[in-house]
């Protein structure tokens, strides 16, 4: 087996006329089998609410400054041909909600949402059970061409509004009047997503907004479930399974932004008809996370979310709150720091080792982030005339990056040489796979990639890619600094993608067949250098998540970074939970990489029994009861951009060492199961936020933190590790 680096290629998925793509999208397109005709793909949704033909009830979409701050390359995802919508009949007709003082819409984006479970029902005044879901979207369902759209045009999948759920999905009822769930799921094409007795989405939704609509007692939040069933309408999206299964997030961003757009649009539709009535806010929970990203709020999806939330507030006066898990990767050994010099080293010091698992059917992705640096604007005309002469005077910085501008900047940057170099050494190999630095690799431009090919059966098979990118960010006026001035910055990024160690066709549809390719499992070694003559740079090394999420059969197995100085266990057998001075693989800075934006609430996890542990020196307990897996952000005290990357609050998702998880609904009504993880912490805080929204003081994330800090409610405990548990720990009524 001979591996070598091939000539650099433009990151356009193999089609030179196409737009430059993100590494994830480019890799996916290039690994398609050439003999198959490619199926449809789905781009990121257009900037929120600027799509012309959609009429949004309650106001027209006014143009606002919602700058896409960073010039990201394009990202796209495959979509099942039968779920793509090609014909629609736009129609009005959506029932607005009645205004009520404590009404809050709960948005859920997840996989495995058992919407017919009794926890999500309410009873009308005749006692008849009905759904609390005002809208449901199954992204995987076949699109019914020509059906009415109830005021919103879906690009794919199928949705139902409340009346449709009650009349067309809850067609069978049992003698008590409860809907027959299996029939409903089959009609909604969710039967295979809900085939297991325990599902992530149901557990999360129950923690966020599950209520027994017959329970008239008062809980710890002062809520009566029977009443709350009428005050918490739900808008839920069953995410496309390919988006969830690929835990690297390669397809997630596209599908999730569409899901969030759906929920936001429905939230607008649901507002009371009387425009003087107070707006009904939205609390949206998205229990998902990845390990690698810019970690400064400028991931493409993070920017989209921040813009969307801002728009909802500015244009529609609707407060939107988003809860996300802080992450479960504290002990995952997927993050480290390395120092990069300006000449090719024999090895990194300490060696940069990557362990690939055998039978890992998902690609391994490692991102290398250089520190942010100031830069001059690229100097070319970047307004709507991209073909203006290059000696035209430099334009002033645009205040908003439209899609066209973004595309143009990326194209311009793709002519700029990258100073970064990456080489690999496969497991047990004596030699490095070297770049031809005097020949074909003497120049590698940004937004180009160096393919790793394996010669087999007389041809070259693509088994890896090293992508070079530079991400430029425009200053944003009202963020970070009071005077609004910030220099133009850029970050260099290398992305190494390696084929699976066991090949299996990942997608069911024949249109997306991939070319079989695999690499050996074991410990790979990487070395990097930066040809600029500058001081050694400290870079962030992050393995992207590539495990198999809950509810899916074995697919990916997480790759990790190897460090002999990483301390796994303390002498007493307890997992170590700090960073030792000479380790390069770290626990700190492992926050969910899509949770560093301005508008998301990040929630960590604690173990209830450990909160009340006596703090005696002989106990040697100093982690404040934090769950071993709960990721760490930056300390809250840090100011500036870093402050974004912090954990806000925590909730209980482990009771004690023998009950590792909190109980919440299984798929079938009446069943419960234990599940731990920050995925179960975020929805508990979502429930609390919804309970607090009657408070008019609550406007920003900082307000929320302050409210939690000063609260004298019984259901709060002190947070002793702010980087991992935020300002306060919630002991919600669901932590049992």
Shortest CB 571 distance to other proteins, Å:
3
Shortest CB 719 distance to other proteins, Å:
20
Short-list 217, 284, 290, CA closest to 253: 290
For other proteins, give the closer residue by CB, 331 or 518.
331
Q: Examine residue 37 and tell whether it contacts other proteins (CB under 8 A).
A: no
Q: Examine residue 485 and tell whether it contacts other proteins (CB under 8 A).
A: no
Q: Examine residue 553 and tell whether it contacts other proteins (CB under 8 A).
A: no
Instruction: Give the pairing of strands 282-286 and 105-110.
Output: parallel
Shortest CB 660 distance to other proteins, Å:
8
Shortest CB 613 distance to other proteins, Å:
7
Q: What is the DSSP letter of 165?
A: I
Residues 298 and 296: their CA atoms lie apart, in Å, by 6
Residues 731 and 672: their CA atoms lie apart, in Å, by 19
Shortest CB 616 distance to other proteins, Å:
6
Shortest CB 627 distance to other proteins, Å:
12
For other proteins, give the closer residue by CB, 2 or 619.
619
Which strands form 600-607's sheet, in the order they lie side by side? 158-161, 133-138, 234-238, 105-110, 282-286, 320-325, 600-607, 649-654, 728-730, 716-718
Choose one: 405-413, 460-468, 476-484, 613-621; the region binding other proteins (CB under 8 A).
613-621
For other proteins, give the closer residue by CB, 168 or 613.
613
What sign for the dihedral angle of Cα 549, 552, 553, 556? negative
For other proteins, give the closer residue by CB, 209 or 328.
328
Is residue 143 within 8 A of residue 85, CB to CB? The reply is yes
Residues 6+ apart with CB under 8 A from 469: 11, 23, 73, 446, 447, 492, 493, 494, 495
For other proteins, give the closer residue by CB, 532 or 570.
570
Is residue 641 within 8 A of residue 733, CB to CB? The reply is no
Q: Examine residue 574 and tell whether it contacts other proteins (CB under 8 A).
A: yes
Choose one: 63-71, 106-114, 263-271, 566-574; the region binding other proteins (CB under 8 A).
566-574
Short-list 535, 81, 55, CA closest to 341: 535
Residues 6+ apart with CB under 8 A from 231: 100, 102, 103, 104
For other proteins, give the closer residue by CB, 126 or 619.
619
For other proteins, give the closer residue by CB, 498 or 662.
662
Q: Examine residue 617 and tell whether it contacts other proteins (CB under 8 A).
A: yes
Instruction: Name the CA dihedral angle for 189, 193, 195, 201, rounded to a multiple of 10 degrees.
Output: -120
Distances (CA, A) of 147 to 151, 155, 644: 12, 13, 43
* Phi, psi (degrees; rounded to nearest 5) at 349: -125, 105
Shortest CB 577 distance to other proteins, Å:
13
Q: Examine residue 573 and tell whether it contacts other proteins (CB under 8 A).
A: yes
Which token pair is 542? Answer: 């992050």
For other proteins, give the closer residue by CB, 58 or 625.
625
For other proteins, give the closer residue by CB, 63 or 575.
575
Short-list 115, 106, 98, 263, CA closest to 690: 106
Choose one: 165-173, 218-226, 258-266, 571-579; the region binding other proteins (CB under 8 A).
571-579
Short-list 192, 193, 210, CA closest to 111: 193
Residue 179's DSSP bridge partners are 173
Q: Examine residue 610 and tell whether it contacts other proteins (CB under 8 A).
A: yes
Shortest CB 617 distance to other proteins, Å:
4
Helix (H, G, I), strand (E, B) or coil at 599: coil
Distances (CA, A) of 70 to 12, 43, 130, 299, 401: 19, 17, 45, 8, 8
* Contact pattern for other proteins over residues 651 through 690, marking x by CB under 8 A: ------xx-x------------------------------
Q: Give the one residue of 568, 616, 640, 714 binding other proteins; rule: CB under 8 A.
A: 616
Is residue 472 within 8 A of residue 378, CB to CB? The reply is yes
Q: Examine residue 613 and tell whether it contacts other proteins (CB under 8 A).
A: yes
For other proteins, give the closer residue by CB, 34 or 571.
571
Choose one: 315-323, 518-526, 614-622, 702-710; the region binding other proteins (CB under 8 A).
614-622
Residues 46 and 278: their CA atoms lie apart, in Å, by 29
User: Which residues within the stretch 325-384 sit at the binding site for other proteins (CB under 8 A)?
Assistant: none
Shortest CB 276 distance to other proteins, Å:
56
Shortest CB 575 distance to other proteins, Å:
10
For other proteins, give the closer residue by CB, 393 or 571.
571
For other proteins, give the closer residue by CB, 501 or 627.
627
Q: Examine residue 614 and tell whether it contacts other proteins (CB under 8 A).
A: yes
Residues 253 and 248: their CA atoms lie apart, in Å, by 10
Shortest CB 658 distance to other proteins, Å:
5
Which token pair is 162? Answer: 């409340």
Give the up-direction half-sphere exposure of residue 254: CA atoms within 13 A in the CB hemisphere.
24
Choose one: 68-76, 424-432, 517-525, 606-614; the region binding other proteins (CB under 8 A).
606-614
Shortest CB 525 distance to other proteins, Å:
23
Choose one: 47-55, 79-87, 152-160, 609-617; the region binding other proteins (CB under 8 A).
609-617
Q: Examine residue 581 and tell whether it contacts other proteins (CB under 8 A).
A: no
> Could you count the other beta carbons within 10 Å of the beta carbon of residue 612?
8
For other proteins, give the closer residue by CB, 438 or 572.
572
Q: Examine residue 620 and tell whether it contacts other proteins (CB under 8 A).
A: yes
Length of the chain: 736
Helix (H, G, I), strand (E, B) or coil at 3: strand
For other proteins, give the closer residue by CB, 416 or 574.
574
For other proteins, give the closer residue by CB, 553 or 657.
657
Q: Examine residue 571 and tell whether it contacts other proteins (CB under 8 A).
A: yes
Residues 414 and 469: their CA atoms lie apart, in Å, by 8
Q: Examine residue 619 and tell whether it contacts other proteins (CB under 8 A).
A: yes
Shortest CB 347 distance to other proteins, Å:
24
Residues contacting other proteins: total by CB under 8 A: 17
Q: Examine residue 572 and tell whether it contacts other proteins (CB under 8 A).
A: yes
Reading phi first (left if > 0) and then psi (alpha if -120 to 50, else beta), residue 446 is in beta
Residue 491's DSSP bridge partners are 471
Residues 733 and 715: their CA atoms lie apart, in Å, by 8
Shortest CB 620 distance to other proteins, Å:
5
For other proteins, give the closer residue by CB, 153 or 621.
621
Q: Give the one residue of 35, 428, 618, 712 binding other proteins; rule: CB under 8 A.
A: 618
Residues 614 and 332: their CA atoms lie apart, in Å, by 28
Residues 6 and 435: their CA atoms lie apart, in Å, by 9
Binding positions for other proteins, rule: CB under 8 A: 570-574, 610, 613-614, 616-621, 657-658, 660
């Amino acid at each position: 087996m001979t591996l070598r680096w091939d000539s650099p290629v433009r990151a356009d998925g193999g089609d030179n006329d196409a737009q430059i793509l993100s590494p994830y999208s480019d890799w996916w397109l290039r690994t398609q089998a050439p003999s198959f005709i490619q199926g449809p793909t789905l781009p990121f949704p257009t900037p929120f609410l600027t799509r012309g033909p959609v009429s949004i009830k309650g106001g027209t979409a006014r143009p606002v400054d919602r700058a896409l701050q960073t010039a990201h390359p394009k990202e796209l995802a495959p979509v099942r041909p039968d779920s793509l919508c090609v014909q629609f009949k736009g129609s009005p007709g959506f029932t607005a909600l009645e205004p009520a003082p404590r009404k809050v819409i709960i948005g859920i984006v997840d996989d495995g949402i058992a919407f017919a479970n009794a926890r999500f029902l309410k009873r009308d005044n005749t006692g008849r059970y009905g759904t609390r879901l005002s809208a449901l979207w199954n992204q995987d369902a076949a699109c019914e061409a020509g059906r009415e759209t109830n005021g919103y045009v879906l690009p794919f999948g199928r949705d139902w509004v409340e009346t449709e759920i009650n009349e067309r999905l809850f067609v069978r009822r049992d003698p008590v009047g409860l809907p027959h769930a299996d029939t409903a799921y089959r009609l909604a094409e969710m039967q295979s997503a809900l085939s297991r007795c325990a599902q992530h989405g149901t557990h999360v939704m129950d923690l966020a907004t599950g209520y027994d609509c017959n329970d008239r007692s008062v809980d710890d939040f002062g809520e009566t479930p029977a009443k709350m069933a009428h005050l918490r309408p739900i808008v839920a999206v069953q995410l496309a399974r390919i988006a969830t299964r690929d835990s690297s997030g390669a397809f997630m961003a596209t599908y999730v932004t569409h899901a969030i757009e759906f929920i936001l649009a429905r939230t607008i539709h649901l507002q009371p008809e009387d425009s003087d009535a107070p707006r009904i806010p939205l609390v949206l929970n998205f229990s998902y996370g990845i390990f690698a990203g810019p970690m400064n709020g400028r991931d493409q999806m993070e920017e989209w979310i921040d813009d969307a939330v801002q728009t909802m507030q500015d244009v529609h006066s609707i407060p939107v709150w988003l809860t996300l898990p802080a992450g479960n990767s504290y002990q995952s050994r997927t993050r480290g720091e390395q120092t990069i010099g300006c000449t090719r080293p024999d090895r990194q010091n300490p060696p940069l080792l990557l362990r690939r698992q055998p039978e890992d059917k998902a690609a391994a992705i490692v991102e290398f982030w250089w520190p942010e640096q100031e830069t001059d604007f690229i100097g070319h005309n970047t307004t709507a005339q991209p073909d203006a002469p290059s000696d035209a005077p430099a334009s002033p910085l645009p205040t908003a990056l439209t899609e066209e501008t973004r595309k143009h900047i990326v194209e311009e940057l793709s002519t700029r040489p990258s100073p970064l170099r990456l080489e690999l050494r496969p497991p047990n190999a004596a030699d490095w796979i070297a770049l031809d630095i005097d020949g074909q690799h003497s120049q590698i431009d940004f937004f180009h990639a160096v393919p790793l090919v394996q010669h087999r059966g007389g041809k070259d098979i693509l088994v890896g890619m090293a992508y070079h990118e530079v991400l430029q960010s425009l200053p944003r006026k009202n963020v970070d600094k009071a005077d609004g001035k910030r220099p133009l910055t850029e970050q260099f990024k290398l992305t190494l993608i390696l084929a699976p160690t066991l090949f299996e066709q990942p997608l069911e549809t024949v249109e997306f067949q991939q070319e079989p390719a695999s690499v050996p499992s074991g410990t790979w070694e990487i070395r990097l250098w930066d040809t600029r003559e500058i001081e050694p740079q400290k870079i962030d090394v992050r393995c992207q998540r590539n495990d198999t999420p809950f509810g899916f059969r074995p697919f990916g197995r997480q790759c990790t970074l190897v460090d002999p100085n990483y301390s796994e266990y303390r002498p007493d057998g307890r997992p170590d939970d700090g960073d030792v001075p000479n380790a390069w693989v770290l626990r700190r800075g492992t926050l969910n990489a899509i949770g560093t934006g301005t508008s998301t609430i990040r929630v960590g996890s604690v173990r209830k029994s450990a909160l009340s542990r006596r703090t005696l020196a002989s106990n040697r307990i100093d982690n404040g009861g934090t769950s071993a897996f709960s990721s760490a952000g930056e300390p809250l005290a840090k100011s500036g951009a870093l402050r974004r990357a912090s954990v806000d609050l925590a909730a209980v998702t482990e009771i004690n060492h023998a009950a590792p998880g909190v109980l919440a609904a299984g798929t079938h009504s009446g069943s419960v199961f234990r599940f731990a993880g920050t995925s179960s912490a975020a929805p508990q805080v979502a429930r609390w936020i919804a309970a607090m929204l009657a408070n008019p003081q609550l406007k920003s994330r900082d307000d929320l933190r302050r409210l939690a800090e000063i609260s004298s409610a019984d259901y709060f405990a002190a947070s002793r590790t702010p980087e991992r548990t935020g300002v306060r720990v919630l002991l919600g009524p669901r932590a049992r």
